[in-house]
C-alpha cells in the first residue's frame, strides 16, 4: 500500500500488546493496538499525513482547512506543520480544551463554530471555497481512509493469526481503512464496529444499509460524535464489516477506568469503546485472537472525572 511508504518516518509504529488480565476476563486472547501512543495521541495523524503528502505545490501554497472534534485537528496541524503548509482547523464549541490547545500548539489557526462536528464541517467547507485551501475531510476521503488502513497493516504484521478486530466508529474512516487492508490480506478476519448507543449513526446506517442521521449525538466518546457516516465509508462498511455493536455511557466509562487501573493505559472514550464491547457483549470470540484498536488517548481529565460515578470506580 502506497500509504504505508508515504507515512514512513512521519508516524510511530504503535505497539500491539497482549493483556493477560483482559484475556482472562473475556475468555479470549486479547491484544490492544495502542494508537493512544501515536504522534498527537491518536491514529488520525495517519490519514491526515497521507492526504496532505499528496498535495501539489500549488495546493500546498494555498494551505489546508479541516473540521474536527479534536484528534483529526491535531493530525492535520502536525502534518501541515511538518510540510510547511498553513492550516486552519474548525472545531465545535464544545471541543475539549486540551485538544484546542494542542492543535494551536502545532501551529494551526483554530476557529470554534457550532455545537457539533457537522456544524464545524459546514464552516470548514465554506472557508475552503472562499480561500482556495484544500479541505482535508476527517473520514470521507480515499487518501485519509488509506492512511488509517495502515493501522490494520501493522496489526497483521504483528499478529498474522488474528481472528477478529474491533474498531471504534465515528464517520467510518478508520474501520473502512482497517477492514480493506485486513481483508485484502486475510478475507476470513472478522471486523466488528463499535459505537456509543447515543451516537449510533454508523451502526444504524450499517443495519439499514442506507445513510441514517442522528441529529444530536452525545457521548463521553467525543471523538465519535458524528451525525452520519460518509458517502465513501458506508459502502465500504457494508462490504467489509461483519458485525456492529453499541455500548452505553456507563460501559464506556467503566472501560476507561479498567484500562487505566488494570493495564496502565490512558484511553479516551472513543479508544475505550472496543474494550467495553468485548466485556459486555456476546460476540462469539471465546478462545480467539482478538485485537482492539485503542484509537486515542487525548483525555480531558477534568471533564472525564465528572463522568465517573462511585459505581463505575468501584466496579473497576
Residue 308 is placed in which grid cell?
A: 465517573
Q: Is 248 a catalytic residue?
A: no
d(CA 106, CA 235): 34
Q: Is 295 a catalytic residue?
A: yes
d(CA 67, CA 73): 7
Is residue 22 within 8 A of residue 263, CB to CB? The reply is: yes
Q: Count of alpha carbons within 13 Å of 273, Cβ hemisphere only?
A: 32
Q: In what order do the strands lie in the sheet with 29-34?
A: 16-18, 29-34, 289-294, 164-168, 190-196, 243-247
Of residues 93, 81, 68, 69, the one with CA closest to residue 39: 81
Write the CB contacts of 275 (distance below 8 Å, at least 6 apart in sequence): 22, 32, 255, 258, 259, 267, 292, 294
How far is the CA of 256 from the CAs of 228, 263, 309, in angstroms?
25, 10, 12
Rg of the chain's alpha carbons, rounded to an integer?
18
- Per DSSP, 140 falls in state S
- Per DSSP, 135 falls in state E
Is residue 162 within 8 A of residue 149, CB to CB? The reply is: no
CA dihedral of 116, 166, 40, 136, whole degrees rounded to 10 = -50
Q: Which of 19, 33, 44, 99 is catalytic?
A: 44
Give the catalytic positions in this structure.
Answer: 44, 295
Amino acid at each position: 500500500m502506497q500509504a504505508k511508504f508515504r507515512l514512513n518516518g512521519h508516524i510511530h509504529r504503535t505497539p500491539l500488546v497482549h493483556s493477560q488480565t483482559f484475556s482472562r476476563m473475556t475468555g479470549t486472547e486479547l491484544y490492544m493496538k495502542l494508537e493512544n501512543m501515536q504522534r498527537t495521541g491518536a491514529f488520525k495523524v495517519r490519514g491526515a499525513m497521507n492526504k496532505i503528502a499528496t498535495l501539489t505545490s500549488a495546493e500546498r501554497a494555498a494551505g489546508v482547512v479541516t473540521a474536527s472534534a479534536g484528534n483529526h485537528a491535531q493530525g492535520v496541524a502536525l502534518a501541515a506543520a511538518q510540510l510547511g503548509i498553513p492550516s486552519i482547523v474548525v472545531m465545535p464549541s464544545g471541543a475539549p480544551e486540551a485538544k484546542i490547545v494542542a492543535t494551536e500548539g502545532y501551529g494551526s489557526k483554530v476557529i470554534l463554530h457550532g455545537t457539533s462536528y457537522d456544524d464545524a464541517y459546514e464552516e470548514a467547507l465554506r472557508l475552503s471555497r472562499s480561500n482556495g485551501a484544500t479541505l482535508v475531510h476527517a473520514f470521507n476521503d480515499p487518501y485519509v481512509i488509506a492512511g488509517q488502513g495502515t493501522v490494520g497493516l501493522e496489526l497483521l504484521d504483528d499478529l498474522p493469526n488474528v481472528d477478529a478486530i474491533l474498531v471504534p466508529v465515528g464517520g467510518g474512516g478508520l474501520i473502512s481503512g482497517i477492514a480493506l487492508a485486513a481483508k485484502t490480506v486475510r478475507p476470513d478476519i472478522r471486523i466488528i464496529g463499535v459505537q456509543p448507543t447515543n451516537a449510533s449513526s454508523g451502526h444504524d446506517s450499517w443495519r439499514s444499509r442506507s445513510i441514517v442521521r442522528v441529529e444530536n449525538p452525545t457521548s463521553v466518546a467525543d471523538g465519535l460524535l458524528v451525525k452520519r457516516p460518509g458517502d465513501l465509508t458506508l459502502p465500504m462498511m457494508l462490504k467489509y464489516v461483519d458485525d456492529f455493536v453499541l455500548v452505553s455511557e456507563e460501559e464506556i466509562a467503566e472501560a476507561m477506568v479498567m484500562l487505566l487501573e488494570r493495564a496502565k493505559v490512558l484511553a479516551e472514550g472513543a479508544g475505550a469503546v472496543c474494550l467495553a464491547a468485548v466485556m459486555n457483549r456476546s460476540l462469539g470470540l471465546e478462545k480467539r485472537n482478538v485485537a482492539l484498536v485503542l484509537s486515542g488517548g487525548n483525555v480531558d481529565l477534568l471533564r472525564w472525572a465528572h463522568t465517573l460515578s462511585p459505581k463505575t470506580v468501584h466496579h473497576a
